[in-house]
Amino acid sequence: MLGHTSRHVTSLTHMYSNFIITSIVVEIWFKCAAECPYFVFESALQLISHLIAVFPCSKYVTEEGQRIVGGVLIGTGLWIAVTFVMRNVLKYLLSWHGWMFNRHGSLSLTTKIWLVLVKVCSGPKPMLYSFQNSIPRLPVPPIKDTVRRYLESARPLMDDEQYKRMEGLAKDFEKNLGPKLQWYLKLKSWWASNYVSDWWEEYIYLRGRGPIMVNSNYYAMDFLYVIPTTRQAARAGNSIHAIMMYRRKLDRAQIKPLMVLNTIPMCSSQYERMFNTSRVPGVETDVLQHMNESKHIAVYHKGRFFKVWLFYDGRLLLPREIEQQIERILADKSEPHPGEELLAALTAGDRDPWAKARSQFFSRGKNKQSLDSVEKAAFFVTLDDTEQRYDPENSVQSLDSYGKSLLHGKCYDRWFDKSFNLIVFKNGTMGLNAEHSWADAPIVGHLWEHVLSSDPVRLGYTEDGHCKGNPHPNLPGPQRLQWDIPEEGQAVINSSLKVAKALADDVDMHIIPFNDFGKGLIKKCKTSPDGFIQIALQLAHFRDKGKFCLTYEASMTRLFREGRTETVRSCTTQTCDFVRAMMNDKATKLKLLKVAAEKHQDLYRLAMTGKGIDRHLFCLYLVSKYLGEDSAFLKEVLSEPWRLSTSQTPLQQVDLFDIKRHPEYVTSGGGFGPVADDGYGVSYIILGEDLINFHISSKHSSPETDSHRFGSNIRQAMLDMLDLFQFDNKASNK
Ligand SMILES: *[C@@H]1O[C@H](CO)[C@@H](O)[C@H](O)[C@H]1NC(C)=O
Ligand SMILES: *[C@@H]1O[C@H](CO)[C@@H](O)[C@H](O)[C@H]1NC(C)=O
Ligand SMILES: *[C@@H]1O[C@H](CO)[C@@H](O)[C@H](O)[C@H]1NC(C)=O
Ligand SMILES: *[C@@H]1O[C@H](CO)[C@@H](O)[C@H](O)[C@H]1NC(C)=O
């Protein structure tokens, strides 16, 4: 879910040396292309006014007509000028981030005035991409600052000797190699719309050669306590329809851009490749293939692949009609072709064998056609033949199995390369599995919120659990995809499956709906909920493993154009002090907790405003590789493992859900696989005032970890921390 540097560092060694020059040329070209419409439009206007001056049109047009033409021209010119000015003023305003440093819950006068100005310049009803040209570029922070922040973050994790050594390396880097690398990076940042994102996508995701299943793909889960229908086909009917309605809104840019405080826009560029997209394996690097046209989906059921057209008679199929198509697939009793059943295991195993097999066996004839149908589909749907749901009688085991199924399934029943898979289980529960390179989790979360809020409420079901409406009398059925996979091809599939299976079986997944308390009570403690949870994770981790570890928390940098994520290193000297005080039951616990929470907030704000540590160092490292310069400092920093990797899934469209009255009609969040072999992955979602869901993962093969043990440590840590406040409240009441 996060994009971890250490995972793919090895792939960085394959690189082109003249890359920087090429990328600069390409950037200049793109920049010109992007600015072009203005330029063209303005010159056209000038030309027209010249023409009018040179050839008096009075001969052909009445004076009235001339006045109208003149008025229209001046009006248009004025409108363009105003838009242009507004946009640039907005851009200027948005490069200020002082608003973020207000104390929690109160806004300074400056911020208030600034917010009004931003609102005025934003116009009344922004569309998805309205702000794209006003969003500022991510600045490159000074090396000195990044190194200082790095050392500060490393301090609690090193003993004095290690730290001294690291400090030496860092200072040397800052003085010698650093400035040179920084110079190249600055150069890139002047031309590129974002100095990190293209490299991030390429080196963290696309060049990774290991399996993307579990390691990179992540999932989103259904409602926990509600099952709107137990008919698999009906659930698929409504949700596929809802997804297509979302796509239509997206095509028309009718989605409201994400805005902080309802005013400050976040970059929307990650939405662009949500649909019609597949990751395509290559020998050195994969590529993202995005189609501008795609009117069908690909469906997998019991070893067979189907192509289902979603349009008929020039319109989108209605839910009941999609249900009808799905029913036909469920009723189809044909056998899989040789190799077909396990085919998708290719997308779950290592990338190189898949790339080779793809060009060897799938580049001709019907195999190519069928593969095209899958890769060029709007998205992928699995009609899973297992049942997964939250079972109150067996809550732990049922949720763990549900999570694992969404994360990896049987390794051959999801097309992991597809931008996302909709998985509908036998009894009508569902979920998503998303590929990570094209966007980060909040984007998929946005889609998922739309689907879950449309499905049971707006679209609804009939009493007997079907989609509303009627089946179509003469809708052509789904098309079974044809494959002719030779023995050698099947052997590759089998060996990919073996690799994937070992990985999947090793995942120790645990999901906790934590309902002892939630955001409501945490806010009463005057702490940010995220900070509170992060500190609880630190406490839980220390109790779990008896030590601190480098901790990754994903934050967004979408306040900047094409921004993706930045790491908050949320294990700090302050959290360690607090944890030690808890372990030794010191009287200063509460005070230290507040200090730690404050520090965490501070780091989070820095990360969001482009003053993080890890993306900058990552880019410097890449530059050093391009230049063939070795930096011991960068190498060490980039290879430190993240043994605790965390991410909050934000609920974005709160107004879609009535959390107060129907708290059960809300997604239960999502999760991702373990990042380090002996570490934990934790994803959490804060739902309403009283519920927090944790999705915890680790590997069975590590003797150091146990997701269930960590889960109970998290629960205990949350409760213990809350206790501190209640004691405090009682004390201050007296
Ligand atoms: C879509 O792609 C096709 C073929 O690649 C191209 O001919 C067409 O112009 C594209 N359409 C749009 C709207 O970009
Ligand atoms: C995907 O394909 C559809 C249908 O052909 C097209 O209208 C749409 O613009 C494409 N969507 C995206 C996000 O590219
Ligand atoms: C799934 O549905 C079937 C038939 O509707 C039912 O017999 C079965 O008990 C359900 N399974 C669960 C886990 O609820
Ligand atoms: C691949 O595995 C399947 C199922 O385990 C088996 O039936 C088939 O013979 C294997 N094919 C090859 C070529 O190894």
Q: Could you tell me the distance, in angstroms and rounded to a whole number, from the CA of residue 292 to the centre of ligand 1?
A: 6
Q: Evaluate whether residue 138 is within a structural domain.
A: no
How confident is the model at residue 14, as a pLDDT?
Answer: 34
Evaluate whether residue 103 is within a structural domain: no
Q: Which residue has the higher pLDDT, 380 or 526?
A: 380
Give the pLDDT band of residue 18 (cuts 50, 70, 90).
Answer: very low
**pLDDT (average), residues 676-688:** 93
Locus of tokens 């060694």: 13
Q: How far is the CA of 311 from the centre of ligand 1 (A)?
A: 19
Q: Which two tokens stand for residue 606?
A: 């820095």
Determine contact, residues 354/347, Cβ cutoff 8 Å: yes
579 in the same domain as 468:
no
Same domain, 472 and 540: no
Q: Check pLDDT > 60 for residue 277.
A: yes
CA distance 440 to 2: 7
| Residue 130 maps to a domain | no
The per-residue pLDDT for 105 is: 65
Q: Which of 292, 295, 376 for mutating ligand 1's site (highest number of atoms within 8 Å of CB)? A: 292
Distances (CA, A) of 315 to 73, 248, 466: 39, 12, 21
Q: Indicate if 496 and 357 belong to the same structural domain.
A: yes
Q: Is the pLDDT of residue 615 over 50?
A: yes
Q: Does the pLDDT at position 89 exceed 50?
A: yes
Q: Verify that 652 and 551 share a domain, yes or no.
A: yes
> Ligand 4, atom 2: nearest CA belongs to which residue?
494
Average pLDDT over residues 550-579: 95
Residues 383, 531 within the same domain: no
The count of structural domains within the chain is 4
pLDDT at residue 413 greater than cutoff 70:
yes
CA angle (379 as vertex; 684, 408 as ends), nearest 5: 50
Question: Among 3-17, 51-65, 449-463, 692-706, which stretch is predicted with the lowest mean pLDDT?
Answer: 3-17
Please state, rounded to an integer, the average pLDDT across all residues of the chain.
Answer: 88
Whether residue 29 lies inside any domain: the answer is: yes
pLDDT tier for residue 33 given thresholds of 50, 70 and 90:
very low
Query: pLDDT digits over 161-194, tens only?
Result: 999 999 999 999 999 999 999 999 999 999 899 9
Q: Does 254 lie in the same domain as 357?
A: yes
The whole-number pLDDT of residue 10 equals 34
CB within 8 Å of 255: residues ≥ 6 apart: 127, 128, 246, 249, 268, 271, 446
pLDDT band at 418 (very low <50, low <70, confident <90, very high): very high
Residue 347, domain CATH: 3.30.559.70
Ligand nearest to the CA of 425: 3
- Select from 289, 293, 376 the residue to mutate for testing ligand 1; criterion: most ligand atoms less than 8 Å from CB: 293
| The pLDDT value given to residue 46 | 62
**Amino acid 99: pLDDT:** 84
Scan for tokens 């996508």, then name that residue. Answer: 201
- The answer to the question of residue 428 being in a domain is yes
Q: Whose CA is nearest to atom 10 of ligand 3?
A: 427
Which residues are tagged catalytic? 436
Find out whether the beta carbon of 290 lies less than 6 Å from any atom of ligand 1: no
* Band of residue 36 on the pLDDT scale cut at 50, 70, 90: very low
Q: What is the CA radius of gyration of the chain?
A: 27
Q: Give the mean pLDDT of 228-237.
A: 94
**Amino acid in position 471:** P
Identify whether 133 is part of a domain: no
Protein residue with its CA nearest to atom 1 in ligand 4? 494
Do 293 and 327 belong to one domain? yes
Q: What value, to the nearest 5°, has the Cα angle with vertex 152 and ends 623 and 619?
A: 15
Angle at 290 between CA 288 and CA 294, to 5 degrees: 145
Task: Report CA torsion sign: 462, 465, 467, 473.
Answer: negative
Contact residues for 358 (Cβ-Cβ < 8 A; gap 6+): 280, 281, 346, 371
- The average pLDDT across 50-55 equals 59
Q: What share of the chain in percent tops pLDDT 90?
A: 70
* One domain for residues 526 and 657: yes
Q: Is the pLDDT of residue 70 over 90?
A: no
Kindly report, residue by residue over 474-494, the tens digit of the pLDDT. Answer: 999 999 999 999 999 999 999
The bound ligand whose nearest atom lies closest to the alpha carbon of 339 is: 4
Boundary-marking domain end, from 601, 628, 655? 628
Residue nearest to atom 10 of ligand 1 (CA): 292
State the distance from the centre of ligand 1 to the C-alpha of 369, rounded, in angstroms. Answer: 19
Distance (angstroms) between ligand 3 centre and the Cα of 320 equals 22
Residue 547's contacts (CB-CB under 8 Å, 6 or more residues apart) are: none
Contact criterion met (CB below 8 Å) for 702 and 688: no
Residues 338 and 220 in one domain: yes
For residues 231 and 357, membership in a common domain is answered with yes
- Residues 419, 560, single domain; the answer is no
Percent of the chain with pLDDT over 70: 90
C-alpha distances in angstroms, 87 versus 134, 267, 662? Answer: 6, 15, 41
As a whole number of Å, the end-to-end CA separation of the chain is 47
Structure tokens at 222: 């259904």
Q: State which of 337, 343, 485, 494 you would mutate to test the pocket of ligand 4, scoring each by most atoms of that ligand within 8 A of its C-beta.
A: 494
CA angle, 319 then 433 then 324, to 5°: 20
Using CB distances shorter than 6 Å, the residues near ligand 3 are: 230, 387, 389, 427
pLDDT of 321: 95
CA separation, residue 496 to residues 58, 349, 701 (Å): 77, 5, 20
CA 559/CA 259 separation, integer angstroms: 9
CA 392 to ligand 3 center in whole angstroms: 14
Within-domain flag for 244: yes
Which of 258, 264, 313 has its CA nearest to residue 443?
258
Tell me the C-alpha distance between 133 and 155, whole Å.
Answer: 40
Q: Whose CA is nearest to atom 2 of ligand 3?
A: 427
- Residue 13 pLDDT: 33
Average pLDDT over residues 409-420: 96
Range of the domain at 260: 212-505
Judge if the beta carbon of residue 251 lies within 6 A of ligand 2. Answer: yes
Name the helix (H) or strand (E) containing 452. helix 441-453
311 alpha carbon – ligand 2 mean position (Å): 13
Strands (E), 545-688: 551-556, 565-569, 644-649, 670-672, 680-687
- Tell me if 344 sits within 8 A of 413, measured CB to CB: yes
pLDDT, average across residues 372-388: 96
| Ligand 2 atom showing the smallest separation from residue 251 Cα | 9
One domain, residues 292 and 431? yes
CATH number, domain containing residue 647 = 3.30.559.10
Q: Is 294 in the pocket of ligand 2 (CB under 6 A)?
A: yes
6 lines ligand 4 (CB under 6 A): no
Distance between Cα 293 and ligand 1 center (Å): 8
Q: Which atom of ligand 4 is nearest to the CA of 490?
A: 13
Has residue 8 got a pLDDT over 50?
A: no
Confidence of residue 12 (pLDDT cuts 50, 70, 90): very low
CB-CB contact of 77 with 45 (8 Å):
yes
SS3 362: coil
**C-beta of 379 in contact with ligand 2 (< 6 A):** no
- Token pair listed for 58: 């009075």
For the CA of 390, the nearest ligand: 3
- Tell me what the mean pLDDT of segment 638-662 comes to: 87
Quick one: pLDDT band at residue 455, thresholds 50, 70, 90? Answer: confident
pLDDT at 107: 80
Ligand nearest to the CA of 447: 2
Which among 222, 387, 399 is the best mutation to test ligand 3's pocket, defined by most ligand atoms within 8 Å of the CB?
387
Tell me the ligand closest to 231's alpha carbon: 3
Q: Do 433 and 637 form a contact (C-beta atoms < 8 A)?
A: no
Among residues 460, 480, 505, the one where a domain terminates is: 505
Average pLDDT over residues 224-243: 93
Pairing of the two strands 287-290 and 277-280: antiparallel
Q: Which atom of ligand 2 is nearest to the CA of 290?
A: 14
Q: Are 679 and 644 in contact (CB under 8 A)?
A: yes
CA of 516 to the centre of ligand 3 (A): 30
In-domain check, residue 132 = no
Is the model more confident about 202 or about 75?
Answer: 202
Q: Which of 505, 522, 557 is the last residue of a domain?
A: 505
